[in-house]
Structure formats: C-alpha cells, structure tokens
Amino acid sequence: MYDRLLVPTDGSGPDNAALELASRIASPAATIHLLFVSEDDRDVSPSDALDRTAEEILADARETATADVETVVTEEKRGDPRARILEYIEAAEIELVVMGAHGRQEAGAGILGRVTEEVVRNASVPVLVVRASDDIQSRYPFDRVLVPTDGSEHARIALERGVEIAAETGATLHLLSVVDVTRYGADSETDALVDRLEEDAKDALEAAAESATADGVDVRTAVTVGSVHREISAYAETEDVDLLIMGTHGRSDPERELLGSVTERVLRTAPAPVLTVRARQTDGS
C-alpha cells in the first residue's frame, strides 16, 4: 500500500500503537522512518514518563519495526515538532504518516494533541491517526472499512482510497451518508425536506457502491439522520469498523477552523484508526 512511511515517536503509548500498526501495514520491502523531535535543548520527550533518551526511544522503536520490515531509518531533530515533522515529510518523500493520539471522548480541546492536529491539517500526504486504546492486533488485516461520504471532492478522494484498501485487504467497504438535521427545526416542512435529502443520499450511495462493486469490492451502504460526526462514530462502533477513511480540507482552506470540521471531530471520537486524505492542492486552492 505504501512504501515510505513516517512514524514520529516519543516512546509514549499512542506512538507505540502507531508504530505497531505502521509495521503491520507496511510491505516487507517498505522503508519505515522513525523520527524523534526534541524541543529546545532537551533530548527526552516531555510526555515520556520513563525519562528515556532519544537514542533509547529510537532504538526500541527500531527493534519493533525491524520485526516486519527490512529497512528502518531513524532520525533525531530539534525544534518545533510540528515544523520538523512537516519538513521531514517533504525531504524524505514520505507517502504516509502514522501518528498516535490520546484516548476517546466527546470532541473537546486538546484531546488529539497539538502536534497531531497540525500534521493532519498541513501534511501533503495521508495521515493515519492511531490511539493507544486501539486493538491493533485485531485491526489488521482490515475486515471492515468505513468511508463517510457527502458527495464532495474530498469525500470522493477518500472513497477512491477506500476502494483501493478494501480491494487489497479483502475488507468489506461500508459507505455511510449522514443527513445533518442539526441545522433544521421540527415541523412538517422540515420532515419533508429530510425525506428528500435521505432519498438523494441513497441515490448517491447506490452510484458509489456500483462503482466500487465493479472493482470486486463487497460494499454495504447506509443512510442515517442526525449530527454528522456523532453518527459516523456511532456507526463505526456498531459495525465494529477496523478503519475509517475521511477527506479533509486541510491547508486548502486556511480560514476554516479545523476543530469545527467533521473530520476533526471524528478523529477525536472514532473507535478505530482514522486515515485522512485530501485532494491534490492547486495554486488556486
């Protein structure tokens, strides 16, 4: 799937979970890059409870990664972790970043961590966000992959990636459309509008499913009504989804507050790893 993966690590539980999944999804011929970034003159991560040195953390991470891949590159940088990670992505021609995040709870400030948020927002490549609480052993090979879709360009790119991953792993591809009723009141006209929106969503899903099925993928579709990010997370939990794939506006919409986006809210509450993808950037975006 990916040949050049980057796992930023500080030796914490979430980063260890990210490394474990990265090692499992990488092909034996892939290269995993392990990056430790220390701020200022410190050579240990502020979050590392064991107070280990960068050299020790990278050595442990290398041992984990080499169990699954032959080529592992370790690098230590100093400075702002967000900036160093984004620079490394470009310099090493990384294809996928796998990052840790903290535990699940209702969307609230800081739960993902500022470094992970910044990389998701600005990285030019897909970012796979993994929590320490995710059971990686049972997550891969993927059996159930969920792609929420709203017909947008970002959702289309996520769907394409979902079809590719489902075809590679033999997973069932779940396509979900959520009719957002939080913006409407409660009256007969609203009920009629919601009914029309549901029918439109079903038609769009059927077209997407037909395209995916043509590629030999087993597809399930569903339309739900409610708050979009809550419905996505609830569906993922009910269906025991192994991976969510979502489009993100990222830096193409710099004035948009990421914390208010559906993708960001799902990242905070999803019961499984989330892969974020975006359409190619253009000069006018």
Q: If you average pLDDT over residues 255-265, what whole number do you get?
A: 60
Whether pLDDT at 22 is above 60: yes
Q: Is the pLDDT of residue 230 over 90?
A: yes
Predicted confidence (pLDDT) per residue in 51-74, tens digit:
789 999 999 999 999 999 989 999
Burial of 146 (0-12, 13-18, 19+ CB in 10 A): buried
Q: Pull the structure tokens for residue 38.
A: 């220390």
Q: What pLDDT digit, counting tens, does each position of 103-133 carry? A: 554 444 344 578 998 899 899 999 999 987 7
Mean pLDDT of the chain: 84
CB neighbour class for 112 (10 Å; exposed up to 12, middle 13-18, buried from 19): buried
SS3 67: coil
- Asked whether the predicted pLDDT for residue 42 surpasses 90, the reply is no
| Cα–Cα nearest to 120, from 276, 280, 281 | 276
Of the listed ranges 40-44, 79-83, 239-243, the least confidently predicted one is: 40-44
Question: Where in the sequence of the chain do the CATH 3.40.50.620 domains occur?
Answer: 2-136, 142-277
Question: Greater confidence, 238 or 258?
Answer: 238
Lowest mean pLDDT among 34-38, 62-66, 148-152: 148-152
Distance (Å) of CA 280 to CA 20, 74, 83, 248, 256: 28, 29, 21, 11, 18
| Strands, sheet with 71-78, edge to edge from the N-terminal-most edge strand | 71-78, 31-38, 4-8, 96-101, 127-131, 274-277, 243-247, 144-148, 172-180, 219-226
pLDDT at 184: 63
Q: What is the percent of the chain with per-residue pLDDT over 90, rounded to a whole number?
A: 56
**Neighbour-count burial of 61, counting CB atoms closer than 10 A to its CB (0-12 exposed, 13-18 middle, 19+ buried):** buried
Rounded to an integer, what distance in angstroms lies between the CA atom of residue 147 and that of residue 176? 6
Q: What is the pLDDT of residues 161-205, one digit of tens each?
A: 999 999 999 999 999 999 887 766 555 567 787 888 899 899 989
Phi, psi at 52, each rounded to 5°:
-85, 160
What SS3 class is residue 280?
Answer: coil
CA angle (268 as vertex; 221, 233 as ends), nearest 5: 25
**E strands of the chain, at which residues?**
4-8, 31-38, 71-78, 96-101, 127-131, 144-148, 172-180, 219-226, 243-247, 274-277
End-to-end CA distance of the chain: 27
Average pLDDT for 222-242: 94
Distances (CA, A) of 266 to 192, 203, 269: 28, 24, 5
Please report the pLDDT score of residue 282 as a whole number. Answer: 46
The CATH homologous superfamily for domain 142-277 is: HUPs (3.40.50.620)
Does domain 2-136 fall under CATH 3.30.2310.20? My reply is: no
User: Average of pLDDT values for 208-213?
Assistant: 91
